[in-house]
A and B are shown apart, each in its own frame.
Chain A
């Protein structure tokens, strides 16, 4: 069962990453798809947090433990990434030209919020890169496990 969970997490996180990359390139998708992908990304981001709930709880307890520097840095990084993502999503919704008007809600193309949306998105790229770096060991182990399981199924 644990192997299946790891496999599910790997595929889910890979989908979240691809979704993130596509959302970050509105010049590839166009504005309408960018906004729709942004909403889907917000939902995936929420599920990603729910899937990581046990880690969030355990790490919060470990924060005060002596020598838990890695946990502290990881927690600070993830908290920053959460704040950046939340602001980028809400600012994106405020500026929305497609999604909000489609549900008859007004949107404002405010210059300051536009700047905020772009700045948060830029910082998110760095944050995601560091998040991947922090979890690199887990990613490599999960990919190896998945590859071994696929080889086992074929044999």
Chain B
């Protein structure tokens, strides 16, 4: 095992056990979501061509990307001010 793989987990067994734990936690979250939303059903079909709606657009796309960067930067900036308070 190369050293960077050891940073992920000390051994393959550890990696597997931890991955399983993460998946179990995700399943718990998913079970709660299913209880609230119900199973996905074609009865609530959106009737919309998603491929057409989300066609790559090289004019609006970069603007949307920049918007994402700005939004996260603002959240990080505000968060930093809040978390700077000695808790």
B30 A5 Cβ-Cβ under 8 A: no
Q: Which residue of B lies closest to A53 (CB)?
A: B18
Main SS of chain B's interface residues? helix
The answer for the CA separation of A32 and B9 in the assembled complex, in Å, is 32
Complex: chain B residue closest to A82, CB-CB: B25
Task: Flag if A128 contacts B75 (CB, 8 Å).
Answer: yes
A29, B61: Cβ atoms closer than 8 Å:
yes
B39 to chain A, nearest CB (A): 9
Once bound together, how far apart are the Cα atoms of A5 and B7, in whole Å?
7
Q: How far is the CB of A101 from chain B (nearest CB, A)?
A: 11
> Considering the complex, which residues of chain B in the window 24-54 have a beta carbon less than 8 Å from any beta carbon of chain A?
25-26, 29-30, 33, 37-38, 40-42, 44-48, 50-51, 53-54
Which chain B residues border A128 with CB–CB below 8 Å? 72, 75
- The count of chain A contact residues (Cβ–Cβ below 8 Å) is 53
Using known A-B contacts A50-B8, A73-B87, A83-B29, determine if residue A113 contacts B40 with beta carbons closer than 8 Å.
yes
Say which residue of B38, B54, B69, B77 sits within 8 Å of A27 (CB atoms): B54
CA distance A109 to B75 in the complex (A): 31
Find B65's partner among A4, A21, A94, A111 (CB 8 Å cutoff).
A21
Q: Given A51-B8, A90-B33, A129 and B40 touching (CB < 8 A)?
A: no
Question: Which residues does chain B contribute within 8 Å of A83, judged by CB atoms?
Answer: 29
A-B contact pairs, 15 of them (CB 8 A): A1-B3, A22-B65, A28-B57, A30-B51, A31-B53, A32-B51, A50-B9, A50-B15, A70-B83, A86-B29, A87-B33, A111-B45, A129-B72, A132-B72, A134-B83
Chain A interface (Cβ within 8 Å of chain B)? 1, 4-5, 8-9, 21-22, 24-34, 46-47, 49-51, 53, 69-70, 73, 82-83, 86-87, 90-91, 94-95, 97, 108-114, 116, 125-126, 128-130, 132-134, 136
